[in-house]
Amino acid sequence: MTASALAMMLGACGGSGGTAAAASTSTSAPPPVVTPSSGTCSNAVTVPPYQTKTSLPFCASLSTAAAGSDGVGAENGKACQQRSGFDIVAEMGAGWNLGNTLDASGNTASSLADETFWGNPVTTKANIDALKKAGFSSLRLPVSWDDHISGEGKVIDRVWLDRVEEVANYALANDMLVIVNIHHNKGWEMPTLANEAVAKEVLTKLWTQIAARFKPYEYRLIFEVMNEPRVTVDGVDDWGGKAEYYDVLNRLNATALATIRASGGNNARRLVMLPTYAAAPGEQQLNGLLLPNDKMVALSTHAYSPYDFALNQKGSAVFTGQAELDALFQRLNTRYVQKGTPVIMGEWASTDKNNAAERVKHAQYFARGARLAGIPTLWWDNGNLNWSATSTDVMGIFDRRTNSFTHQDIVDAIMCSVK
C-alpha cells in the first residue's frame, strides 16, 4: 500500500463529546463494550488480513506443539491452529497505558508505595472495567523494577511482583491483552560497549524472574523486554543514537529474548516485543535494528508525531502533520508488517494545549493510519488531566478517581478508527 493510498483511506470519525458515566462495581463477567454508533464513524475500510487463514479453532494453550510447519497441533484429540504473532496482535484493537503508576519510582519512605508516588491513585479493578466498557481491548502495564530488587541476584520483592500480577489480572479477567515490561531504570540498560556486560546481567536476572512468574499465562499476556533503551550522558538523553548503540541493543534484545524462551512452557512461544533504539521509528533507528530469527517477536515502537504538535508543549496547537504520519505508517508496514513481523505502537498521544478539536483530528488520523497499516496502538495516559498555560505532557484522557473519561471525543475518534 502506498503512502498516498493510506492518506486517501484515512476517513474522518466524529466525536460525541461529553463524559462517560462512572463505571459500576465490577463483576466476574467482562463489562459490556460501548463503542460509538456507526453514524459517528466513517465507512469501514478493508485492512489486509495478516493473521492465519484457517478453518480450525485456535489452540487454547501456547504450549501446544505443532506437528509440522503449518502450525497445526492437537488438544483433547482434536486439531487446532497455533496462534501466530499476527493472530495475537489482531486482537489488541485500541489500547491504553497505565502510565506513571507501576512505572513510578523514588519513594524512599516505602518503595512499595511507588504506585501512587507520582500522583496517580491506586489502580482498581473498576478502573480497568471502565476502560474495557469504553472499548479498549489491550492494556500496557509499564513497570519499573529497580526500587524493588535486592542483592547480587537482583531479587524482585515478592510483594511488588504480586501487585504487578494483580493489576495484570484485572485486565486479563476482562479478556483484554496485557503487555508487561521493564520500563524506567537507573541507567543499567544503557546500550554501550562499556556497559554491555552489566546490562546483559541485569536483563537476564530480571527476565528470569518475570518470565517464571507469568509462565502459566496464555497468549493474552505479552512481554516487552525494554521501554525506550537509550544512552544518557551527563544527564542528557541521546534520542538518536549511533552504530555502537544499535549493535549493543541488538545483542541486549537477543539476550532478553533468549532468557524468556529458556524458561520454557508458554514462554517458549509467547509474543515478545523488542524495541528499536529509544523505541524510535525513524529510518536511522530501523536501519540499525537486527531482530532475532524468531516468529513470535514484534517490533516495539513509539511515536509522539508530529513532535511539534503532539509532544512540544510550546509548539503548534494545530494538527498539520498528515504527510509525516503517512510516511511513518508506510515505513513500518512495508519494512515489517508486509515482511512477516508484527508492529505494536506501544505509546502515542498528544499533549493538551487547550485545542480539543485539533487533538481529535490528530487522534482519528493517527489511529486510522495505524489500523490501515496493520498496527495496534496504545494511548499513553500519564494521569495528567489538568491543562494550564505552564503545564506539560497533559496526556490523560481517563480520570481514574471517578472512572470517567475527560476527553470522550478522543476516545470516540480512536474507537471508530479501529472498527
What is the pLDDT, as a whole number, of residue 68? 87
Is position 108 within any domain?
A: yes
The secondary element (H helix, E strand) that includes residue 274 is strand 272-275
- Rounded CA separation 340/396 (Å): 34
Burial 371-396 (b: 16+ CB within 10 A, else e): bbbbbbbbbbbbbbbebeeeeebbbb
From 228, 244, 324, 358, the catalytic residue: 228
What is the pLDDT, as a whole number, of residue 155? 98
Nearest residue to 241 via CA among 181, 283, 188, 210:
283
What is the pLDDT, as a whole number, of residue 418? 85
CATH code of the domain in which 259 resides: 3.20.20.80
What is the pLDDT, as a whole number, of residue 34? 55
What is the bridge-based pairing of β-strands 377-381 and 94-98? parallel
pLDDT per residue of the chain (419 residues) written in tens, 0 to 9: 433 333 333 333 433 333 333 333 334 566 666 555 444 565 555 566 788 999 999 999 999 999 888 999 999 999 999 999 999 999 999 999 999 999 999 999 998 899 999 999 999 999 999 999 999 999 999 999 999 999 999 999 999 999 999 999 999 999 999 999 999 999 999 999 999 999 999 999 999 999 999 999 999 999 999 999 999 999 999 999 999 999 999 999 999 999 999 999 999 999 999 999 999 999 999 999 999 999 999 999 999 999 999 999 999 999 999 999 999 999 999 999 999 999 999 999 999 999 999 999 999 999 999 999 999 999 999 999 988 888 899 999 999 999 999 999 999 999 998 87
Is position 228 within any domain?
A: yes
Determine whether 265 is exposed, middle or buried from the number of CB atoms within 10 Å of its CB (0-12, 13-18, 19+).
Answer: middle
Q: Residue 115 catalytic?
A: no
250 and 213 fall within a common domain = yes
Number of domains present in the structure of the chain: 2
- Domain with 323 in it: 84-417
Is position 292 within any domain?
A: yes
Residue 60, phi-psi category: left (phi > 0), alpha (psi -120 to 50), beta (remainder): alpha
61 and 129 fall within a common domain = no
What residue ranges in 108-243 does DSSP mark as E strands? 138-141, 149-150, 155-156, 177-181, 221-224, 231-233, 236-238
Cα 279 from chain centre: 11
Please say which residue of 34, 61, 82 terminates a domain: 82
What is the pLDDT, as a whole number, of residue 16? 32
Cis amide linkage into residue 306, ω under 30° from 0: yes
Is position 28 within any domain?
A: no
C-alpha R_g of the chain:
21
Is position 321 within any domain?
A: yes
Q: Residue 347 catalytic?
A: yes
From 115, 196, 347, 358, the catalytic residue: 347
304 and 171 fall within a common domain = yes
254 and 134 fall within a common domain = yes
- Rounded CA separation 61/186 (Å): 36
228 and 371 fall within a common domain = yes
Is position 159 within any domain?
A: yes
